[in-house]
Structure 1
Amino acid sequence: MQQTILLIEDEASIADMVVYALKSEGFVAHWCRLGGEGVAWLKANPEVALVILDIGLPDGSGFEFCKEIRRFSEVPIVFLTARNDEVDRIVGLEIGGDDYIGKPFSPRELTARVKVILKRSRMAHAPEAAAADADTTFEIDSGRCRIRYLDTWLDLTRYEYQVLKTLLQQPERVYSRAQVMDQAWNEPEESLERAVDTHIKTLRAKLRQVSDQGSPIKTHRGLGYSISGSVRES
């Protein structure tokens, strides 16, 4: 899943350069020209991975906007500024900034620092993520078309993936064969409903290879199939 970076910078030429550099590294970049606009956008989009914040903004100091952000978010913040005095760097870090880059700067240096900070942030939250994983039976990685069962990524064929993903849309719901085919096959009218049974059989075998504690896929005679377990999407 692509991570979103919020850039708050009033100079369009610098913003264009930073946005291009971030997108080249696979990030989603959102640019706001004013501090107030950026803070409001962050409140509406709390999934933002990192904020790049200019200090000299037309509507106020980046230091003050940093303090405002820290009242509701722990998102990493990188200051971007022409003011490169040691006092400014210290103040920026003391009020909650994670790094400080002076202008002019290299776009490659900026993206490198962004990656380091994001990696550090992920490591800091690793115990929390591990605890969440412990309570998750299945994880769906739609971007890579794969599904994890317990602690193992399953080796699935195209239709096995589509059938399992369909059942995991609503755990415990009973799906008829026709409903599964509508979701999993591009042209369901050209396939037989018994094909669903075949893929359910191979899925159960692959799930048993991970855990022999019983299949989470249940057969409901005359009705269809359901699956049990907690699901997380990444």
Structure 2
Amino acid sequence: MKNKQLLLIDDDIEFTALLVQYLKPQGYEIDVCHDGESGLLRATSNKKYDLILLDVMLPRIDGFEVLKKLRSSHHTPVLMLTAKGDDFDKIFGLELGADDYLPKPFNHRELSARIKAIVRRMELLPSTSMHQTLTLDDVIISPSNQMVSCNDSVLELTGTEFSILHLLMLNHGNLVSKQDLSEKVLGRKLAAFDRSVDMHVSNIRRKLSHKNADEKIKTHRGAGYIYMVKK
């Protein structure tokens, strides 16, 4: 099996060397950049990466600016490495299109689990039996090529946003709990005060609203979400 391609953008030379040493034996090929400018150039090059590990605090261009520019043209999954306890970094990164975040300092096993969850989800998108084109009112979702359209306009979603929308649409009319969304999409149990799922759903709503769509996703406070269809 071909090794997965990772791009690590972090200015801590010793830290990145340790991560490369830890991750390589697990079947990853890792390119490393130590500033945001070179990281963005590498991320938008012709090389296809399975995942980008992106630190927030970077010289030249910070991680948020890298992510913002990247999302204007690429949907490569991004795992943000944020300062521990800095909720602003976490929320802002998710708003800009990060797929997940991990606060520093972190356990290397936790990092490995997050990477595997994201990579596995991207691999499964075109292959499961449920992944047939689904049309609900004016929204069409096609997992085989990870495309979504609303009112005949293409919707630009990250891999995580796509997976959440797909799960909600598959279960339209029924409550999908935040716990289920976290476990099935993010690959982890929902932790207290974790707003990742909420932020991804907020991004989906915003993008749907730009296509003049009706309110599609109803919130059941503290419980989860329901994808609504017209009667």
Q: TM-score range by the shorter chain?
A: 0.5 to 0.7
- Give the alignment's TM-score, normalised by structure 2: 0.53
The structural deviation recorded for 1:19 is: 1.2
* Matched-pair identity in %: 36
| Cα deviation code 1:51-72 (max 9, x no counterpart) | 0000000112201110111111
Normalised by the size of structure 1, how large is the TM-score? 0.52
Which residue of structure 1 lines up, in the alignment, with residue 43 of structure 2? 42
Gaps in structure 2 of 5+ consecutive residues: 133-141, 146-231
Letter in 2 for 1:40: L
Distance 2:77 2:143 in 1: 21
Rg larger in structure: 1
Aligned residue for 1:68, secondary structure, equals helix
Matched ranges for 1:1-234 at <5 A: 1-126=2-127, 127=131
Query: Measured at CA, do residues 125 and 96 of structure 1 come closer, stay the same or move farther in structure 2, by a change above 3 Å?
Result: farther
Contact 2:12 2:34 in 1 (8 A): yes
Q: Structure 2 vs 1, CA of residues 131 and 28 (structure 1 numbering), >3 Å: closer, same or farther?
A: same
**Structure-2 change in CA distance of 1:44 and 1:83 (3 Å):** same
Q: 2:125 is matched by which residue type in structure 1?
A: A
Q: What CA distance in whole angstroms lies between the structure 2 residues aligned with 1:94 and 1:45?
A: 26
The whole-number CA distance in structure 2 between the counterparts of 1:102 and 1:130 is 31
- Conserved 8 A contact 1:17-1:107: no
Question: Structure 1: any 5+ residue segments left out of the alignment?
Answer: 133-234
Judged with a 3 Å threshold, the aligned counterparts in structure 2 of structure 1 residues 94 and 26 are, in CA distance, closer, same or farther, namely: same
- Amino acid corresponding to residue 34 of structure 1 in structure 2: D
More helix by share: 1
Q: Distance in 2 between matches of 1:45 and 1:19?
A: 22
Distance 1:93 1:2, change over 3 A: same
- What is the one-letter code of the residue matched to 2:105? P
The number of residues matched between the two structures is 132
Quote the RMSD (CA, aligned, Å).
2.1
The letter of the residue matching 1:80 is L
Distance 1:40 1:120, change over 3 A: same
